[in-house]
Structure formats: C-alpha cells, structure tokens
Amino acid sequence: MSPGDALPAAVRAHDLGFTYPDGRGALRGIDLEVAVGERIALLGPNGAGKTTLMLQLNGVLSPTAGHVEIGGTRVERGTLREARRRVGIVFQDPDDQLFMPTVAQDVAFGPANFGVTGDELRARVTDALAAVGMSEHAERSPSHLSGGQRRRVALATVLACRPDVLVLDEPSANLDPVARRELAEVLLGLDTTLILVTHDLPYAAQLCDRAVIIDDGRLVADDPVLELLADAELLGRHRLELPWGFEVPRG
C-alpha cells in the first residue's frame, strides 16, 4: 500500500443477502462500511435482521448473496479462523461465553484456542481483566458474580483475543443502572472499532457516533446517531421509540 492509499474499512458488507433454509429472507442487499476506530449502533425492531447480520461478520453464518470483508480480507471458508480472531462478538447472555471454573480460565480460553501460550497468554488475561475492572476477581467462579460483573468478564474473554472489531449484542440488557454505567465507562475507554447491536437508544447515543437502522432485512437509514434519534417519525416507522423523558442531546 502506498502512503497515499486509504486504509481498508474495518468492516465492509457488499450487497449482502441471507436466506434461512426455511426460505425466510433475513438480509436483502445490505451495503455497509464501518471505518477503523468508528463506533456504530445497529438498530431495528425485533426480527429485522440485526443478529443475522452480526453473525455474518465472522462467518458464523455465510451469506447466500454478496460478501463481507474484514480489514479488506473477504470472509470465506479459507479465512474463517482469521475472521474469528479479528471480529470478537460479545453475546447478549454472558453465560453463553462463561463455562470454565474460574474467571481467569474463561478469559484465557479464547486466545489459547488461537495458539497463544505461556507469558503472552498470562499477559493477555491480566490486560483484559484490567481493562474491564475485574482483576481482583480472576480466581472467582463466574457463577458467583453479579450480572454486571459477568457481562464485563464476557467482554474480557473477547478482548483477550485482541480483535480489530468488537461486536456487542444488547450489552445493556438486564443490567441495573450502576452496572449499565460501569459497562459504558469500560466501552468508552476502548479504542477498538465498535458495533453495538441494541434496542437501547440512549445507550446508542452515549456510546456511538453513527447509527444505522435495519428493517425487514434492508438498511433503511444511516446517519449521525443524534440526528437519527431526533427523527421521531423515522423511528416510529421502524418500531423504535425513545424512553419517556429522554431528550436527544444537541450535537
């Protein structure tokens, strides 16, 4: 790459389509680019295709049309392992990612699976737990942690793999206000490209600069997050609504 060349997008979906085996079309011609270091909220009603799109990004699901690129590399059979290293997904239920006897062992599992060993593995565990404020809980059982603490440990299990792109599925779901704030502070402290899949519109406003809406498998809006959230008519057309009393901050 010459000095004048632009960096490839962190994520690029081109004419992306996906149809489930029962014939249900979940994605229809999605074109989306996310720049390196960008924070983007992926919004839409239930059944819109948000989770299906999320699972395309590291090859958990393979498109039936179009393709996805991560850092300029197309996600396909021969690049799946690298795509799964570069795109870390934190699922809505932290218990989907926590299954080892201790927090430290859970955090070590991912990088160890990618071949990291010895001092490097220990350093990754230490760094990831420090990043989410859970260092003192390294030897505890995840089952003895609060919901907010488990959510942060689940995030650490992904951060330990040092992904280029971090995808979070409804990260604020079922968190009390303090845990919600603590997680937001952790996420705001990261410099990783971030894709936030959420119904929590205030959380999107707090964490992201840009938002897109997907409905019926199509990308129907793509704007600065505060501009998009200020458009009540647009939100209403796609069954999205700000909570009572919430006012969109002025950009």
| Rg of the chain (C-alpha set) | 18
Domain tally, the chain: 1
| Residue 82 in domain | yes
| Residue 136 in domain | yes
| Residue 200 in domain | yes
Please give the torsion angle defined by the CA atoms of residues 89, 91, 94 and 99, in that order, rounded to the nearest 10 degrees. Answer: -60
| Residue 6 in domain | no
| Residue 74 in domain | yes
CATH code for the domain in which residue 110 is found: 3.40.50.300
Q: Is the pTM of this model over 0.95?
A: no
Domain span including residue 23: 11-237
| 194-231: b (≥16 Cβ within 10 Å) or e | bbbbbbbbbbbbbbbebbbbbbebebebeeebbebbbe
| Residue 2 in domain | no
The pLDDT tens digits for 72-111 are 999 999 999 999 999 999 999 998 899 999 999 999 999 9
| Residue 127 in domain | yes
| Residue 135 in domain | yes
The pLDDT tens digits for 213-235 are 999 999 999 999 999 999 999 99
